[in-house]
Every structure is written in C-alpha cells, then in structure tokens.
Amino acid sequence: MPFVAVNPTTGETIATYPAHTREQVNLALATAHAAFLEWRTTSFEERAVLMVRAAELLEGELPVVAQLLTSEMGKTFAAAKGEVAKCAMTMRYYAEHAESLLADELIATSASRSGIRYEPIGAVLAIMPWNFPLWQAVRFAAPSLMAGNVGILKHAPNVPGTAAFLEDLFRRSGFPTGVFTNLYAELDVVADIIADERVAAVTLTGSERAGRSVAELAGRHLKKSVMELGGSDAFIVASSADLDHTIPLAVTARVQNNGQSCIASKRFLVVRDRADEFIARFTDAMAAVAVGDPMEPATVVGPLVSSTQRDLLDAQVRDAVAKGAVVHAGGAPVDGPGFFYPPTVLSHVPPASRAGCEELFGPVAVVQVVDDLDEAIAVANSTPWGLGGSIWATDPAEIEHALSGIEAGMVFANAVVASTPELPFGGIKNSGYGRELSAVGIREFTNVKSFFVA
C-alpha cells in the first residue's frame, strides 16, 4: 500500500509515496550495515561538523519545513516553527556534548586501570509517530548518530513527506549514504527488519498496542528496545496554587499540538477548596481558544490529524456524556471541512466511561475534584500509565510531596511537562521503558563495555 499524506485542514490528498519493496528494504539494510562499519570509526569531531551542518540547513529552511509539518498533520504554523527550531537546537546540543556524555568513566578496582566505555552497536530502527513528525525522529537520530550508530526510520504512514525531507537533510549535510535511511515499510516488512541480524536495536514512540507488538518482536530476537508510549498525565492543582499563573498554562498543557501529545495534561485534579474558581476560569479560557486554519497567526488549535482520530475522540466524549459526564465547553465536532474538534471541558466523568479510562488524544480536558493533595496523588497514580505529571502550588511542602508521590517518569512543578535535551524523557508502567535525550538517552543504544587492565 502507498503512503498517503492528507491535509487535515481540508481533507485533500497532498502526495502519495510508494511503499518500498522487500528487495529495496534488503538493499537499504545492507547499505546501512556497511555504512555503520565505517561510521563507527569516525571521530566525535567529524560527526559534530556534519550534525551542526544539518542544524544550520534546518534553521535556514525553517518556514518551509514548518509548512510541511502543518500541511501533513495539522499543527499550527507557530507550533511547527517551534518544533523545527527545537530540532536544530537538539542537533547542536549533541554535536557539542556527545563526546563528554560518552567519555570513558574510570572506576577504582584492583586493576591498574579499569572502568566503563560506551561504544556504538549498529543500526537502530526507529518507528515514529505523526504527532511531532520531525522532533520525534530527530530526538532519536541526533544522539544515535553522534554515538556512532546509524539510523533507519520507519515513520508514520501519514507523514511521508517529513520522512523524506529528513533523509534528504542528512544527505545534504554530508552524512555518508546509509548513515540515515528512510523506509516506507509496511507492517509485515517491519517485523522482518526487526528480525534482521543487521539491525541492532529498535525504538518506538507510539501507542501502547504498537509498543507491545514491537517489544515482543524485539524480545524474541534479543534486540535492545526503548518504548515511549501513551500517557494520561495528571495536572494537580493544590490549595496553594496561584491560579493567575496556573489557568493559562492549564490551557496550554491541554491544547498544545491540538491536544495530540503523549505528555499533554489530560486529567485535571483540583482540590475542593479551589475547584469552583478553577473550573469556571478554566472553562472560560478553553472556550476562548481560537480554532481554525493552522496557517493563520491567531489560530491556537488546528484540526486533528484525521477523520478517524476526530471520530474516535467524539465517540469517547459522547460515551462519557451518556454515562453522566457534564460538558462545560465544547463537546461536539466543528461543522465544515477538515477534522476539527473544539477545546472541551468535562467534569463528573465516570471512571468506567471511555473518557474515564482511555487516553484522550485531542483537546478534551477531564476535571476531577478531590478532597486534598493526598487524594490527588492517589488518583494520579490510579491509571496504568506513568509518563508525566505536574503539580501547581506555591507551598514548597506541597510541591515536594507531589514530586515524590507522583508515579511517573517526569514530574514538573508550576510548568507544563516538556522535553529538553538535558533531561531524560520517558515513562514507567504502560507508558513504556527506557529513556530518550540527556546522557541516559544517548547511552541507551551503546555497548556499555567494562574494561580492566591488570
């Protein structure tokens, strides 16, 4: 089947790309393996020169690349420009820091010299999602390539243009053929790629279902894997919260990327003594969010990625309402062309409803009133996911209690959960395992080799 890009704003097909045949995939794997044998011998300095060149090209072409992201998945042009800039920044970060992050670590033993070194392992297959089509791929590629590995990208089928652009970007930057390869691979071919002995590891960002399937395949073939899966992040509003600061960021936390983010806050847990004010102000703020053409500067929320995603979100909301949920804002798809769904606020959502137990991938917020911070933390931890979470408070004791108590890979205080190259990114429980970014992330796909010199 071909890979088709559809503009979510209009519903029109942009471009179609043919899937690679098994023969083409086999040739690409052979080329990648041969490239690795040479690339692993290059110095950090050589790799850094090329990575900086890629960042410079990306910065120079920023508006054009941002428009590509907007046209393929519907994020606002402003958000797309921010994504492109963040990719260039991360490329520069690893170009500058990879050598120190992977430097030998000396450890005192009975040897004259002993310790740990981090060495590349080979070709890393990256199965990436559509919601941050450039960032997710660069988040894997920049550290992997700087570590001396080569990358093979199997991108989401609805962002084929972004995948092609990224392969071309690394080519134009001077990276040797095979160091970064884009494959339009169908699902049955992906299984063969994971099994191939020329592939050393696999990383996936996507749904829990996809993660289970890929992790099972990787485990069967004893391949290292990193899984960054779904989340239902809690946004806890404590008694000491400054609502003037909190309310605007609560909106951002829910509607960023049109609400289609694994780390977007989805459950707003508000202590009872602040609940009435929070719900009233949050509802007004969500209802005021501008929805429309993502290329327009005033637009804050563009379309969802597809009609399928819009219809899924609508079904989740309708199920909750049928079971007793209260709609404070939004609650129904926007009429007209494109795949639009308005910012929506629900309360009294039954735990057994779909909105109460499934991840909501769109601008729908579930507000739940709790008695105190202890109950908020307990509710935050009650889901099978554990990606991120946030605490909104001015009392240091409340902040520390939440930082320690929330079971997640990332917890932010008085700030929207986000990714940054300096800190590890990833979750626990059904949100996956392993980490991206930081020193931890670049070491995930290395051979942690002990050495001992008697």
Phi and psi angles of residue 393, each rounded to the nearest 5 degrees, phi first: -160, 160
Determine whether 262 is an active site residue: yes
Contact 386, 431 (CB under 8 A): yes
Identify the DSSP state of 28.
Answer: H
Residue identified by tokens 């009975």 is: 110
Catalytic residue among 72, 87, 167, 262: 262
Q: Can you tell me whether residue 144 is helix, strand or coil?
A: helix
Catalytic residue among 72, 83, 167, 228: 228
- Look at residues 261, 223, 210 and name the one whose alpha carbon lies nearest to residue 82: 261
Tally Cβ neighbours within 10 Å of residue 378: 13
β-pair type (410-413, 388-392): parallel
Determine whether 375 is an active site residue: no
- Look at residues 136, 82, 391, 437 and name the one whose alpha carbon lies nearest to residue 261: 136
Q: Where are the beta strands (DSSP E) in 135-192?
A: 150-154, 180-182
Tally Cβ neighbours within 10 Å of residue 166: 25
Q: How far is the C-alpha of 178 from the C-alpha of 209, rounded, in Å? A: 30
- Look at residues 251, 275, 264, 231 and name the one whose alpha carbon lies nearest to residue 343: 251
Residues labelled as active-site residues: 228, 262
